[in-house]
Amino acid sequence: MVEPKSLHAAQVFPSGRTLAPFFDLPPLFTLSAVGVAVVVAVVVAVVYLCCYLCCVLCCALCSALMDAYIDSIARGETDVNPSRQLSICEYVRERDGETRNIFQLFCECNQVDATLENFVTNGKVPTSSTLQHIENDISDRIRVPWLGGAVKINLWFFIMPLLLTLEGWCAASFTAPRTVSFLFNAVVCWHSIRVMNTAETARSHMHLQFTGWSIGQVIHQCYTTLSQAQVYRWQDGVGVFVAASAFLSYCYLRNSDPGVLSSMAPPLQSNKRALAAHYVQHSTHRAKYCQISHSGVARYDHFCIWVGRPIGKYNHKWFLLFCASVCVGGGLFWWTVGGGGDGGSGGGGGNGSGSTYGDVVATRCLMACMGTCGLLLRQTWLISNGLTSYENLHCVALKEAGWKHTQRTGWQQVLCDGAQIKETK
């Protein structure tokens, strides 16, 4: 009797590479093809059953708690006045300012239900505007109880690591993981250009979470490399310093003031001529009203979707530090882990680190290095010529509105003006 052929990890991934998206995965056990199929079917069935039971229990729990919450409102024990102090499970809904409870997660989902029903029954693909409204609504519902009101967690915080893990699995299934990673990152870059067409789509946190999780991947890979290294090299120390600089500058950009002018009102019209005239009216501060963040920003440069903040007078230098850290750190990571340094095995375009995970992260770092290098060169030219990105892009319309290039923004102003203006703001 001929025994069935066993299926080993090396046959599943012919390239001999291993995969560890966010943790080290153990090698596949030696099983027959039928055994692998049975195991996969059982795992899928168990996961589906667990997800179904969790959804049923969550719905039952939310329904019971919501009934108790509504009863307390009817009895007058709970005040729903938005001006009062919010409890740890309450929040103010963004679209209408009503006070809501986190246990109302599955309430009033009419738009989501209608969109899904039209797509399944009629094959009607939802528009980008509809998807953006659904994303904002779901993100506004996902909250964590906190003192003074529940804190919002964006939907892409959960979706992005799944997409990055899917990228790793797809890369491990082919003999050219770098090509798969390049295509994935190219799609992300192409989508970043599309979302900037409107202010509504630019508010999506997709690219913001992509940046944060990508930095987390680099830190994880650096930690794994250093924990397994027997001899530390100079690249390791520089890599840790640059990775820390990128992470800290990213966090600071997310929480810092770009130079918001609270007294600045939005323009009455949104056409190019009206926006240029509005900018000329506030030429003293070189301020522009950002339609994406709904705020006026002094010395407005641009809105960066990769950090989710407008770049202005106070955080311009931190943006340059972030770009420099990503440029240097990305190039160094690619050279040592996936390229031609001592940590790589195949030169600049060779076989890399031998790990699919390392090759995927190294490819992303190389593309980030090239992109931020071009951005730094452009920023260097603009600052040296006393221009912002907005002024350079809309120079013709601004000159027609009466704008004159008299205030020069040199390097000294970019690096030092933040502290000086904060004293007189």
What is the pLDDT confidence band of residue 137, given thresholds at 50, 70 and 90? confident
- Token couple for 420: 């000086």
Q: ∠218-224-230 over CA atoms, to 5°?
A: 130
Q: Residue 277 above 50 pLDDT?
A: yes
What is the pLDDT confidence band of residue 290, given thresholds at 50, 70 and 90? very high
Residues facing residue 92 across a β-bridge: 99
Q: Residue 3 above 60 pLDDT?
A: no
Rounded percentage of the chain residues whose pLDDT exceeds 70: 74
Q: Whose structure tokens read 């520089």?
A: 238
> Comparing 70-74, 89-93, 151-155, 299-303, which segment has the lowest mean pLDDT?
70-74
Q: What pLDDT is recorded for position 163?
A: 92
Do residues 250 and 212 lie in contact, with contact meaning Cβ atoms separated by under 8 Å? yes
**Residue 95 phi, psi (nearest 5):** -75, -25
Q: What pLDDT is recorded for position 206?
A: 92
> Comparing 104-118, 161-175, 258-272, 374-388, which segment has the lowest mean pLDDT?
104-118
The C-alpha atoms of residue 302 and residue 306 are separated, in whole angstroms, by 12
Read off the pLDDT of residues 64-94 as tens digits, 9 standing for 90 and up.
666 666 666 666 555 555 456 777 887 888 7
> Comparing 27-41, 220-234, 302-316, 389-403, which segment has the lowest mean pLDDT?
27-41
- Token couple for 232: 């530390």
The C-alpha atoms of residue 337 and residue 253 are separated, in whole angstroms, by 28
Q: What pLDDT is recorded for position 213?
A: 93
Q: Which of 86-95, 98-107, 327-336 has the highest mean pLDDT?
A: 327-336
Q: Residue 313 above 60 pLDDT?
A: yes
How many C-beta atoms lie closer than 10 Å to residue 422's C-beta? 12
Q: What pLDDT is recorded for position 7?
A: 43
Q: Closest Cα partner for 211 from 168, 167, 174, 161?
A: 161
Q: What pLDDT is recorded for position 420?
A: 44
Give the global pTM.
Answer: 0.75
The C-alpha atoms of residue 110 and residue 117 are separated, in whole angstroms, by 10
- Greater pLDDT, 3 or 279: 279
What is the pLDDT confidence band of residue 324, given thresholds at 50, 70 and 90? very high
The C-alpha atoms of residue 137 and residue 74 are separated, in whole angstroms, by 26
Q: Residue 265 above 80 pLDDT?
A: yes
- Greater pLDDT, 241 or 11: 241
Q: What pLDDT is recorded for position 369?
A: 94
SS3 of the chain: CCCCCEECHHHHCCCCCECCCCCCCCCCCCEEHHHHHHHHHHHHHHHHHHHHHHHHHHHHHHHHHHHHHHHHHHCCCCCCCCCCCCCCCEEECCCCCCEEEHHHCCCCCHHHHHHHHHHHHCCCCCCHHHHHHHHHHHHHHCEECCCCCCEECCCHHHHHHHHHHHHHHHHHCCCCHHHHHHHHHHHHHHHHHHHCCCHHHHCCCHHHHHHHHHHHHHHHHHHHHHHHCCCCCHHHHHHHHHHHHHHHHHHHHHHCCCCEECCCCCCCCCCHHHHHHHHHHCCCCCCEEECCCCEEECCCCEEECCCCEEECCCCHHHHHHHHHHHHHHHHHHHHHHHCCCCCCCCHHHCCCCCEHHHHHHHHHHHHHHHHHHHHHHHHHHHHHCCCCHHHHHCHHHHHHCCCCCCCCCCHHHHHHHHHHHHHHC
What is the pLDDT confidence band of residue 160, given thresholds at 50, 70 and 90? very high
Q: How far is CA 231 from the centre of its chain?
A: 35
Q: Whose structure tokens read 């003006």?
A: 417
The C-alpha atoms of residue 162 and residue 418 are separated, in whole angstroms, by 39
Average pLDDT over residues 156-183: 90
Q: Residue 226 above 60 pLDDT?
A: yes
Q: Residue 207 above 60 pLDDT?
A: yes
